[in-house]
Amino acid sequence: MPTFPRRPLGPVSASVVTAAAALVLPLAAPAVSSVAADRTTPQRSVAQRQWADARCGAPASEPVRNGKPMTVRVPPTRPFTVGRIPASAWSRPASSDPTWQLSFYGLDWMKPLAKRAFDDRQDAQLAALVAQADKFYVQHPDRGSNALGWDEGTSLRRLHVLTCLSIVTGDPRLTSRMATEVRLLFGPRYYGPPNHPVHNHGLMANVNIRAAGEIVGREDWVRAAEARMRREAGMAFTKAGTSYEQSAWYHLVNTMMWRSAGERMAKGASADPAVRAILAQTERSMAVGRWLTEPDGDLVQIGDTPRNPGWKPVGRERPGVFRDNEAGIAVGRWSWTDPKTTYYTVRYGPARFAHGHPDKGGVTWSARGTRVLVGPGYYGYDWRNSYAAYARQAHSHNVAWPTRGRANPRATAAVRSASTKGRTHTWRVLDREHGVAHTRDVRVDHPSATLTVSDTYPRRTALRQSWHLDPGWRLVTRRPRNLVFRDHAGRTLRLVTDGAVVDISRGRTRPVAGWNYPSAGSRIPAYEITTGGTGTVRTTFTVR
């Protein structure tokens, strides 16, 4: 682990990269020469305001007045008051929800308060926030484990908060507290090599370390963080440019964070081969991000992905197929400009990792200007919540499984054959994800807006297929092997199976079934159809 000699507060460099600590895209960095001399003066210089905007984010909506209690609400728990948080609150948290704990222990709730107090010149309130942050380390010191807010993900967020506070107050106590977080993030808990694969948390840690070093004049932090980014950049994406994290949304997050980091590093070392490699890599990754954008302009919901806007084409893409065997993703489309083109994805490849789902062989499909088969999306990370857990179950995806099989999360899948020329594409995917040999044949016919999927298991093996429709579809006709749906635009979708329609669920709560998650904590009822049979079952979808 690198050692960092103590140095006095010094000037910062010309720029700072804002980490996507809350999984938002990086903000523009202020172009200034130094703010260190300004941070301790009563005046708010232009440079200091720029840095505060970049590192602290948006201010609180309600005023933060000197002498008035600062009440904080982190739903769903009771409000608490800055400066009055008892030591027991850290050792016995009010909620077990991982997202809540990330915000509470990460002190993320301090940033909007600090920004509002800074903007309104409420310096006594800024001092109270610094005192509360300092008190956290006294009441709840790092004991060398991941428990109760001392994991790497929470640490990197606290470092972000401390950097914000340092900008708006210049309080020297914060530097030693920042050093505590930097030591943790250079230790074995770091989410990256050598103990873990490269992950967006590791990049966020390095970006935050670099920014903190620039703020307090710790050039050794800056150098160490940049060295780690140089070493790890080539391990974040496949050769084709796809993030290894198995999520369309996290692909965009990783791409933009690495792009921002590379551009910032290039300002001081534009000829560095490692930096140039980062920029070239993110160019490929941005192209992949466009493939992961459906014709309606939103991301395809693969892995932990909300229904967020994707990336528009730049005008030089050619329709056809993007295929990346390292990532286990195939994407097909017949146009980049026609919103009514056919669009589909097929999942295969390595075992589930990071933000991926159990969707080997899974498909999504859009035709005639509407989404038809979709993934569940992202609800949350508290696996005790039945809705969050639903997205991590095989039947919440467009997949097949044997009724007596047991899922193996380490299983892989491979493409045996594919034909992607012309107006009809076919894929054959093999796996043993449930301990039984399985073949899935996918046929996508663009002119007729038809998708046919055949699933084959050994003879006499009972199997099920799960199909998840976009929330816009409504059931209008139901027969044993034939279902008809209609959407708000009057389009019809016909499902025909040579097996049987075993179940139709929509918005079921016990057990959870038939949901789509457009954003974290948000759910919309959507049809989940289960078809089944023995040996081989073929199901066809047609949009008119």
139, 144, 145, 147: CA torsion to nearest 10: 0
Burial class (CB in 10 A: 0-12, 13-18, 19+), 240: middle
Q: Tokens for 298, please give them.
A: 């939103």
Taking the C-alpha atoms of residue 70 and residue 62, their distance in angstroms, rounded to an integer, is: 10
Of 25-39, 171-185, 351-365, minimum mean pLDDT range: 25-39
Q: What would the pLDDT profile of 40-50 be if each residue is shown by its tens digit? A: 445 678 888 99
- Between strands 512-513 and 515-519, the pairing is unpaired
- Residue 70 pLDDT > 90: yes
Question: From CA 346, how far away is CA 132, in angstroms rounded?
Answer: 50
242-289 confidence digits (pLDDT tens): 999 999 999 999 999 999 999 988 987 778 899 999 999 999 999 999
Question: Is the preceding peptide bond at 319 cis, omega within 30 degrees of 0?
Answer: no
Q: What is the DSSP letter of 30?
A: P
80 has a pLDDT exceeding 60: yes
Verdict on whether the full-model pTM lies above 0.85: yes
Hey, what are 238's tokens?
């496949």
Nearest to 55 by CA among 22, 83, 102, 103: 22
pLDDT score, position 419: 98
Q: What is the 3-state secondary structure (H, E, C) of 54-98?
A: HHHCCCCCCCCCCCCCCEECCCCCCCEECCCCCHHHHHCCCCCCH
pLDDT of residue 407: 87
> Of 263-277, 380-394, 511-525, which one has max mean pLDDT?
511-525
Instruction: Give the mean model confidence (pLDDT) for residues 401-406.
Output: 92
Mean pLDDT of 140-159: 97
CATH code for 303-543?
Answer: 2.70.98.70
Q: What is the pLDDT of residues 104-115, one digit of tens each?
A: 999 999 999 999
Neighbours of 79 (CB within 10 A): 9
pLDDT digit string, tens, across residues 159-217: 999 999 999 999 999 999 999 999 999 999 999 999 999 999 999 999 999 999 999 99
Q: What is the pLDDT of residue 44?
A: 78
pLDDT digits (tens, 9 = 90+) for 119-132: 999 999 999 999 99
Phi and psi at residue 10, in whole multiples of 5°? Answer: -125, -175
- Kindly list the domain boundaries of the chain, sorted by start residue: 46-189, 303-543
- Determine the pLDDT at residue 382: 87
Q: pLDDT at position 268, please?
A: 75
pLDDT band at 136 (very low <50, low <70, confident <90, very high): very high
pLDDT category at 6 given cuts 50, 70, 90 is very low
Q: What does the DSSP assignment read for 257-293? A: HHHHHHHHHHTT-TT-HHHHHHHHHHHHHHHHHHHTB
Give pLDDT, residue 42.
52
Over pLDDT 70: what percentage of the chain? 92
Please report the pLDDT score of residue 405 as a whole number.
84
Distance (Å, whole) CA 472 – CA 488: 7
**DSSP secondary structure letters along 187-252:** STTSSSTTTS---HHHHHHHHHHHHHHHHHT-HHHHHHHHHHHHHHGGGSB-TTS-BTT--HHHHH
Name every residue whose Cβ is closer than 8 Å to that of residue 423 and which is 6 or more positions away in sequence. 334, 445, 446, 447
* The pairing of beta strand 536-543 with beta strand 450-456: antiparallel
pLDDT at 219 > cutoff 90: yes
